[in-house]
């Protein structure tokens, strides 16, 4: 059984960070406790004690990845006033397209797909929660009249679909130029749409 303490120990934090770096390099699909433990200077027994079981460790790793994913999104919320949907998408795409974020985003894509085909266990709810996270942040970037309208909901759903589709394409092909051009084209179309209060 995992420890009941709400605050993880320093050792648990240290091992989680090491395991997270390992997962960024190797993925989660074939994660095995013994090679992981060896790579991070621990043992399967210690990992079982700290995280309960393999599913508990995977859940902790997914939560750790989600923290990194939300970091860029949280910065968009910090503005004194909503920055608008198009500037928000521009900033998010710049972050997504950066080479240094590919390991995290490959891990995200793996977890997203696994949560769709294996909805139980460690992956449960990951895809839905990441959709909700991103839609919430994009909504916060919209001026309130747009945010509260049906058209505003459609626009942010479309923006998220474009970001997610372009990201999966980028991860598959590494063609940043083409995917960025597609995102920019869609943003031009979004900019041309004027939201009226009754929409």
Residue 15, class by beta-carbon neighbours within 10 Å (0-12 exposed, 13-18 middle, 19+ buried)? buried
Q: How large is the average pLDDT for residues 46-72?
A: 87
Distance in angstroms (rounded) separating the CA atoms of residues 83 and 76: 8
Residue 145 to residue 198: CA distance in whole angstroms: 9
- Give tens-digit pLDDT for 10-54: 889 999 999 999 999 988 877 889 999 999 999 999 999 999 888
Distance CA 112, CA 17 (A): 21
Radius of gyration of the chain from Cα atoms? 19
Which is nearest to 133 in space by CA: 70, 77, 76, 62?
70
Residue 25 tokens read as 């390099």
Of 113-122, 160-169, 175-184, the least confident: 113-122
pLDDT on residue 77: 67
**The predicted structure's pLDDT at residue 90:** 93
Reported as a single tens digit per residue, the pLDDT across 103-154 is 999 999 999 999 998 888 888 889 999 999 899 989 999 999 999 999 999 9
The pLDDT score that the predictor gives to residue 124 is: 87
- Quote the pLDDT of residue 194: 56
- Residue ranges and CATH numbers for the domains of the chain are 10-192 (1.10.357.10)
- Alpha helices by DSSP H, 31-149: 33-40, 44-51, 54-77, 85-97, 102-117, 126-140, 144-147
Residue with tokens 């995200």: 108
| Local confidence band at 193 (pLDDT 50, 70, 90 cut-offs) | low
Lowest mean pLDDT, pick from 2-11, 32-41, 53-62, 81-90 = 2-11
User: What is the percentage of the chain residues whose pLDDT exceeds 90?
Assistant: 57
Residues in the chain, total: 199
Q: Distance between the two ends of the chain, CA-based, in angstroms?
A: 52
Task: Check residue 11 and give its pLDDT.
Answer: 86
Q: What does pLDDT average to over the chain? A: 87
């Amino acid at each position: 059984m995992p420890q009941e303490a709400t605050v993880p120990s320093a050792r648990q934090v240290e091992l989680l960070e090491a395991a997270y770096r390992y997962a960024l390099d190797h993925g989660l699909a074939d994660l095995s406790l013994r090679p992981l433990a060896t790579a991070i200077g621990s043992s399967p027994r210690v990992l079982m004690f700290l995280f309960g079981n393999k599913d508990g460790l995977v859940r902790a790793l997914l939560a750790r990845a989600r923290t990194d994913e939300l970091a860029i999104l949280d910065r968009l919320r910090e503005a004194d006033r909503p920055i608008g949907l198009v500037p928000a998408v521009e900033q998010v795409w710049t972050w997504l397209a950066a080479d240094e974020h590919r390991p995290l985003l490959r891990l995200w894509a793996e977890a997203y797909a696994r949560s769709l085909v294996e909805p139980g266990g460690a992956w449960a709810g990951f895809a839905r929660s990441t959709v909700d996270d991103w839609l919430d942040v994009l909504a916060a970037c919209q001026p309130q009249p747009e945010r509260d309208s049906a058209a505003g909901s459609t626009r942010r759903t479309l923006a998220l679909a474009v970001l997610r589709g372009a990201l999966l394409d980028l991860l598959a092909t590494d063609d940043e130029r083409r995917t960025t051009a597609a995102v920019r084209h869609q943003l031009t179309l979004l900019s041309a749409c004027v939201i009226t209060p009754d929409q």
